[in-house]
Chain A
Amino acid sequence: MNKRYRIFSLFITSILILAMLSGCVNTGSTPQEKTFNYGTMAYGVAMGNVGLNPHEGYSGWSTIRYGVGETLFKFNESMELEPWLATDYEQIDEYTVRINLRDDVTFSNGNKMTGEAVKDCLENLIAVHDRAPSDLQIKSIEADGQSITITSNIKVPGLVNYLCDPYGTIIDMEAGVTEDKNVVGTGPYIATRVTDTEINLISNDNYWNGEVIVNNINVKSITDGDTLTMALQSGDIDAAQGLPYVSLQLFQDDPDYTISSTNTSRLYQAALNFRSKLIQDDAVREAMALSMDKEGFTSVLLQGNGSPAIGPYPANFTFGGDAVRADEYDIDKARDILEDAGWIDSDGDGIREKDGKRLTIRWLTYTSRQELPLLAESVQATYKEAGIEVLVNATDNFRDFLQSGEYDVYASAFVAAPTGDPQYYFTTHVVDGSDYNRGYYRNDNVEKLVEKLREEFDTERRSGLAVEIAQQVLDDRAYIYASHLKMSFVMRNGVAGFTAHPSDYYEITSKLDIDK
């Protein structure tokens, strides 16, 4: 053997040994301090929520999720409003609302949260943010001691709901935003370091709402599902969010881990394109709705991490779940309907034809949400049993195809009611000409009902309208709703106070506790 070679290999081995030894040095916290390491898929450049400035893009999600900031109101498990930094609100008239704030809240730097401070924060929000101004339609804000009065340009029944969106996080405008996008909020934790891939937090000793138990938190962005899984298994992290479905199996039966799951309003839906001749055939649409195996999709492919959807809203909403009726999985019925409508398999290849035209559906979708390609494949197989051929086009480049109109179905993911209010979904998906109405659907009755919804302030009546509109959409079979996302946190035993919330906004709270 070459002498040089031997020397080199010795050199490398010693480096490796040195490295391993240095790795063994504990870089953790001091023994009395509690540290929580948290790995998540949801933080990162690709999500547009890097940094903690709520007035920038989607970063407000990070501010709330990681315990740095809070909003005026928040949602409970049924997505109903609850006081948080505010105590209550009064609808003075259809354009004005007055919000009363708590008296005992301070920002983490000691400054008191007053009406003025909230006014400054919200004014900055509508000055610089992209989505907030059109949602809130604020004309002016007045501050008076511990309350503010908001006047709107138009009637906005969901205004207070919108303020629960993470962009409504109240931050201290006096302290402003630092260069690394850190802010001063009212939450139980303060960020010491903010980067594209990691946030380091320490406890806020001035927190207004109770004692903060954990001293240090490290939020790590891990975008690879398998790395995240193994990081949790090895103890590199204490809890994980966003694990791939197949990995959940590893922890479900393991007594050393706990899983906290919840149904969210993130919806997987298929929009049927009314500009396509095929889709205009009522029988085809009905057969398609009957042939989607939602149970199989959620229980097997998603391994139980989803609930079959009936309408656009999940069961924990009063106007969601089985408040509406949709077609149930029935292949035989689908076959019959197609036969009766003249779709016969004349050449015996398993796919039906009519007037020389083959029953082929072009299914357009994208891949950035793992569920969508799975749904497409599942649909391909079940539709085939009914005699419908599905050509899947799952591509990052879906916008090209949307523009050219070369699709019969567009399957997408959408958070149907981020603020608990039903209006948002309808005005974006179902109204003629709306931005996300990929199927070019139009129904005059629906148009009328949505107009009524825009003006209705009473929550119960809003609920009723929501049910009516959703039912009409389902009867027209303009959309087929596949499932709602079930979101889970997996944590090792010893972590407490870390629960999943249907809104997907709340993760780290003062209730968090860990045993080490």
Chain B
Amino acid sequence: MKDTNAMEVSSKGFLNIKKEKTAYFKLYLLCALTGILLLVTFFSPKLVPFDPYEQNLSEALQGPSNAHLLGTDRFGRDMFSRILVGGQTTILTSLLLVGIITSVGTAVGVACGYKGGKFDSFVMRISDIFLAFPGMVFAIAVASLLGGGIMNAVIALACISWPKYARLARGQVLSVMNMPFISAARLSGSNSMKIIIKHILPNILGTILVTASLDIGTIIMELAGLSFLGLGAMPPTPEWGSMMSNGRSMLQTSPWTVLAPGFAIFVTVMLFNLLGDTLRDVLDPKTKM
């Protein structure tokens, strides 16, 4: 569906023809890197040099050394192993969360945009309630209600964050709905589901995907914020955000305990953000028609 010629014409001036090819190259590169990250995360339990849960109080708070690549934490556990396994928790949880928010939000948004009318108004009011509700109060309240733990944090954050995608999707759907080919499809008798899947979704998916990949970083941050407030991952589960929160007081005395997870988060967020950016670069010339 890419019209290379149109791309060349519109790309004079601000865009460079050469850049488009690099865009694809970058996309493949980033996808590969992200893939490697996910693979490492997935297989981390097999790759770790030490048991990330094994405490060894006599070796607590040691700096990076040959034995312990990234040092040990206050329980004497190997930081490197904990970072690797922590990646599982952090990355998979955020991906899960973003997945939930995106799908639920998009589904609701598409339904609202497509149906319109009273249904649209009603659901939008509900989403307004969630949007206006101070997120932190909600997250703390839900997490306190259900108890600590990563899954409950996910539920809490999912409840607050889906309206954003609903709004986004709805807005996108509305702008697509005004396009002539929708009316054409309707006239020709296609049923709603077909229209949605064939015509609407492909056009909005781009923006949604890009926003989603950019949001992964934000989600990781929100999980970390909840850990700081005492909710989120339960001990001894390693999770980068809670590791940072726990290691915070040791910045001056044992900085590796907080810098290691911080760096891991940084690399992950950067990868996903770059991926999102490049995705946008690639998808964008794909016009909204």
Contacts and interface: CB of A to CB of B under 8 A. Distances in A.
Interface in B64-120: 74-76
A458 interface: no
Interface string A239-277: 000001011011000000000000000000000000000
B254 interface: yes
B145 interface: yes
A357 to B, nearest CB: 23
B235 A226 contact: no
B32 to A, nearest CB: 37
Contacts of B254: 246
A396 B230 CA distance: 8
B33 interface: no
A368 B236 CA distance: 17
A396 B250 contact: no
Contacts of B76: 300
Nearest to A380: B236
Given A246-B253, A394-B235, A381 B75 contact: yes
B284 interface: no
Contact of B148 (A296, A368, A393): A393
A503 interface: no
B253 A301 contact: no
Given A226-B249, A229-B249, A377-B236, A246 B74 contact: yes
B57 A301 contact: yes
Contacts of B55: 377-378, 381-382
Contact of B57 (A226, A250, A300, A373): A300
B249 A244 contact: yes
B15 interface: no
A402 B234 CA distance: 18
A397 B57 contact: no
Nearest to B148: A395
B53 A226 contact: no
Contacts of B60: 300-301
B75 A247 contact: no
A378 B77 CA distance: 11
Interface in A198-230: 225-226, 229
B251 interface: yes
A378 B236 CA distance: 10
Given A246-B74, A250-B253, A377-B236, A367 B248 contact: no
A301 B249 contact: no
B142 to A, nearest CB: 11
Q: Report whether over half of chain B's contact residues are helix, strand or loop; otherwise say mixed.
A: loop
A397 B147 contact: yes
Interface residues of A, number: 30
A323 interface: no
Interface string A364-401: 00011000011011101110000000001111110011
Interface string A181-201: 000000000000000000000
Interface in B239-277: 248-254
Given A246-B254, A392-B234, A225 B147 contact: no
Size category of the B interface is 20 to 34
> Chain B CB within 10 Å — which of A373, A376, A396, A400 has the most?
A396
Nearest to A245: B249
Contacts of A249: 253
A247 B55 CA distance: 22
Contacts of B145: 397
A247 B249 contact: yes
A375 B60 CA distance: 15
B253 A376 contact: no
B211 interface: no
Contacts of A226: 248-249, 251
Interface in A295-343: 296, 300-301
Contacts of A296: 57
Contacts of A378: 55, 57, 75
Contact of A396 (B53, B144, B253): B144
> Chain B CB within 10 Å — which of A225, A376, A394 has the most?
A394
A250 B252 contact: yes
Given A301-B74, A394-B234, A397-B147, A247 B253 contact: yes
A225 B57 contact: no
Nearest to B56: A381
Nearest to A382: B55
B8 interface: no
28 contacts: A229-B249, A229-B252, A244-B249, A246-B74, A246-B249, A246-B250, A247-B252, A247-B253, A293-B57, A300-B58, A300-B74, A301-B74, A368-B230, A377-B236, A378-B55, A378-B75, A380-B235, A380-B236, A381-B55, A381-B236, A392-B236, A394-B235, A395-B144, A396-B144, A396-B231, A397-B145, A397-B146, A400-B147
Interface of B: 53-55, 57-58, 60, 74-76, 144-148, 230-231, 234-236, 248-254
The 8 A-B residue pairs with the shortest CB-CB distance, nearest first, are: A381-B55, A300-B57, A244-B249, A395-B148, A296-B57, A367-B230, A377-B235, A395-B147
Given A226-B249, A394-B235, A400-B147, 13 more contacts: A246-B250, A300-B57, A300-B58, A300-B76, A373-B235, A377-B235, A381-B55, A392-B235, A395-B144, A395-B147, A396-B231, A397-B146, A401-B147
